[in-house]
């Protein structure tokens, strides 16, 4: 029998307050969460590894007296390790890998009193902006199960949007928190590089592009979770000083008049859907009505070159991920162990020279400096989050012809042939058609957020994207809190809920 029927009327901060007042117990929250997962997950496929009995034991055994004591949490099955629980990263090659320790971020979640109830679906190695791994199958969007939930934190986004949990873990290397937040109509903030820990095993991922945080329905949950988890850990290559005051306090504070730039031009792609353009222009009107100065402006850089350099970096990192997986599993991998696209990208990464990889990353850093100088002149930059409303499931996958080519070449190890065919340039041209803005903030390291302000005529969510100055999550949280009050979204419920 469900333990707490009013569960989705509260965010994580609200549920924790009920626990503190003794109005509900951690076990009741966990039982209600499990009941919702069992009811909703068959339609959404968001949770691919339940930890129900362990969660019940944790809730009954007594929890740390942290700010989120008793609140259920789902963890993305990528990067974040939970001791004694499998971590597959969406890959059949890693099916047998079970870590013997928590990552530092998971340890901080536990110290905050959160109860981990399971792990969520993600594409293989988190490489694409949709969650359709061959191993587990696609995660469906709660607003329309025929459409994508986004990626790579798609399972977490669908779980939060449908009301399974108030918050869920995510990671963002090219938009992987913000993209699914937009697709599923929830809030998603990527913190500044180095704000949250990646230890104890990792110093950085994707040349500093990857940052972990959560997806949430309320802005204050994101802020309060960042308060609970922010800060460097031992050996971290980047260190961000603590903010002047808690981020949760920023959410309720007025931002004052801000200077905000906006554009709808796709930096890394070619086209933008009218619904996404309209969402930005409606947001501009809202911002001006709130007293902000909003002007059309954008940084000057070569998007085509940026896209190619980013793909060179990702190809090299993909090869590194494959070889790390081989060490974890204890055997060499072959084409049958990974999806065709993953293996082909890894072949490209193996074919590239060290000089090509370093040159690409240095050129990205030069772009980051140019974009940073532009950003210093503004409090925030507004764009669409993605270039399309959530498209149909499978529509972003390679064509059957491309799949056949990739698998055939992958079997013969034809990395140089792939490169000669122009596959890298083609991949760079196509990879960012859906996400022509979000990877830029990963390269610059700036904080960025997707805010669920719009829904189109079909009832599909359309997120808008704000990038802040490096290290200035505080301004983004103040702005997001103001927008949340002006155009509330918390009580909007998707059909699968």
- Residue among 91, 152, 218, 450 flagged as catalytic: 152
Q: Indicate the SS3 state at residue 317.
A: helix
Q: Does residue 156 contact residue 213 with C-beta atoms inside 8 Å?
A: no
Active site residue 176: yes
Active site residue 152: yes
CA distance 391 to 49: 26
CA distance 429 to 134: 24
Active site residue 153: no
Mark 412-433 as b/e (b = at least 16 C-beta within 10 Å): eebbeebbeeebbeebbbbbbb
CA distance 424 to 411: 18
CA distance 277 to 263: 9
Q: What is the DSSP string of 37-106?
A: HHHHHHHH--EEEE-HHHHHHHHHH-----TTTT-EEEEESSS---TTS---TT-GGGTT---SS--HHH
Helix or strand (DSSP H, E) at 125: none
- Residue among 91, 156, 162, 176 flagged as catalytic: 176
CA distance 11 to 9: 7
Compute the half-sphere exposure of residue 477: CA atoms within 13 Å on the CB side of its CA: 27
CA distance 389 to 182: 9
Burial tier of 323 (Cβ tally within 10 Å: 0-12, 13-18, 19+): middle
Q: Shortest CA distance to 203 belongs to which of 79, 96, 294, 308? A: 79
- Give every CB contact of residue 173 below 8 A, 6+ residues apart in sequence: 126, 152, 205, 206, 209, 210, 442
Q: Which positions are catalytic?
A: 76, 152, 176
């Amino acid at each position: 029998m469900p333990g707490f029927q009013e569960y989705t009327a509260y965010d994580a901060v609200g549920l924790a307050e009920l626990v503190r007042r003794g109005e509900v117990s951690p076990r009741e929250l966990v039982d209600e969460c499990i009941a919702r997962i069992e009811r909703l997950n068959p339609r959404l496929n968001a949770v691919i590894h339940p930890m129900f009995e362990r969660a019940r034991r944790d809730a009954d055994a007594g929890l740390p007296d942290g700010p989120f004591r008793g609140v259920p949490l789902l963890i993305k099955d990528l990067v974040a390790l939970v001791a004694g629980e499998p971590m597959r990263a969406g890959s059949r090659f890693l099916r047998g890998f079970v870590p013997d320790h928590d990552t530092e971020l998971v340890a901080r979640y536990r110290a905050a009193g959160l109860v981990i109830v399971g792990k969520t679906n993600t594409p293989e190695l988190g490489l694409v902006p949709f969650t359709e791994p061959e191993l587990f199958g696609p995660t469906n969007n709660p607003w329309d199960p025929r459409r994508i939930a986004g990626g790579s934190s798609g399972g977490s986004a669908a779980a939060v949007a449908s009301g399974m949990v108030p918050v869920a873990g995510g990671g963002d290397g090219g938009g992987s928190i913000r993209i699914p937040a937009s697709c599923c109509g929830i809030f998603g903030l990527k913190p500044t590089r180095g704000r949250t820990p990646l230890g104890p095993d990792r110093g950085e991922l994707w040349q500093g592009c990857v940052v972990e945080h959560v997806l949430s329905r309320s802005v204050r949950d994101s802020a309060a979770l960042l308060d609970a988890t922010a800060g460097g850990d031992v050996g971290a290559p980047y260190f961000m000083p603590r903010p002047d005051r808690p981020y949760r306090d920023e959410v309720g504070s007025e931002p004052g008049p801000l200077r905000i730039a906006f554009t709808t031009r796709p930096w890394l792609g070619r086209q933008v859907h009218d619904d996404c353009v309209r969402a930005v222009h409606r947001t501009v009107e809202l911002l001006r009505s709130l007293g902000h100065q909003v002007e059309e402006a954008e940084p000057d850089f070569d998007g085509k070159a940026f896209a190619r350099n980013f793909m060179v970096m990702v190809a090299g990192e993909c090869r590194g991920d494959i070889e790390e997986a081989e060490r974890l599993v204890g055997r060499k991998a072959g084409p049958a162990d990974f999806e065709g696209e993953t293996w082909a990208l890894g072949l490209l990464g193996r074919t590239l020279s060290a000089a090509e990889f370093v040159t690409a990353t240095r050129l990205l850093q030069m772009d980051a400096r140019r974009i940073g100088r532009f950003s210093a002149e503004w409090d925030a930059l507004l764009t669409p989050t993605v270039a399309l409303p959530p498209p149909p499931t499978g529509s972003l996958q390679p064509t059957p012809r491309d799949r056949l080519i990739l698998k055939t070449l992958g079997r013969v190890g034809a990395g140089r042939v792939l490169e000669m065919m122009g596959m890298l340039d083609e991949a760079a041209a196509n990879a960012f058609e859906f996400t022509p803005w979000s990877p830029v903030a990963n390269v610059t390291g700036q904080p960025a957020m997707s805010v669920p302000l719009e829904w189109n005529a079909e009832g599909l969510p359309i997120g808008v994207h704000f990038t802040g100055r490096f290290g200035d999550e505080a301004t983004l949280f103040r702005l997001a809190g103001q927008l949340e009050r002006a155009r509330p979204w918390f009580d909007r419920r998707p059909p699968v809920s």
